[in-house]
Structure 1
Amino acid sequence: MANTVFCKKYQQEMEGLERAPLPGAKGQEVLENVSKQAWLEWQALQTMIINEKHLNLMQPDTRKYLLEQMDKFFNNEETDRLQGYVDPGDIQEL
């Protein structure tokens, strides 16, 4: 049986992650409050941010920045926009 959590991004009960995706307290917080769907969506956005901004994950400031963006994403706050990226949901039919 799948683990369920009340997802703070979607504000509903959803399938949760099987294990903490990060070490420590932050990982436990994500495990308890973020759905599997929201985590997968964050991973896709995180990859785009890393690639677009040419981030070096060896730098502590970069890791801090990504955690801030992750918190914004899960709290439905606006994250940094990627240059030239258009969300498919924002495209209106002609």
Structure 2
Amino acid sequence: MPKYMIEREIPGIGSQSAEELRAAAQTSNDVLSTMAPRAQWQQSFITGDKVYCVYIAENERAVYEHAELSGFPADRVSKVEAILDPASAQT
């Protein structure tokens, strides 16, 4: 399945407590359990006012469906075309 990067604008997310973030993760997991195997959450990166999530999903529509059902915005969804890391420099 394709991999997607989701950008979510959530003002103040970076200052939420560990308990609040855990509750958000549980909400996401609950929705994903109803969508399996069409979408899987790999990880998220939290900044001051944004969350960048990495998902594996059958298509972009499944990513937006998760956003709608979970109540989390999906302001930008981009299909990952390639992954580049330090090991990519080695032959």
**Fold shared by both chains (TM-score > 0.5):** no
**Greater RCO, 1 or 2 (C-alpha within 8 Å, sep 6+):** 2
Point out the structure with the larger strand share.
Answer: 2
Which category of TM-score, normalised to the shorter sequence, fits these structures?
0.3 to 0.5
- Superposition TM-score, scaled by structure 2 size: 0.36
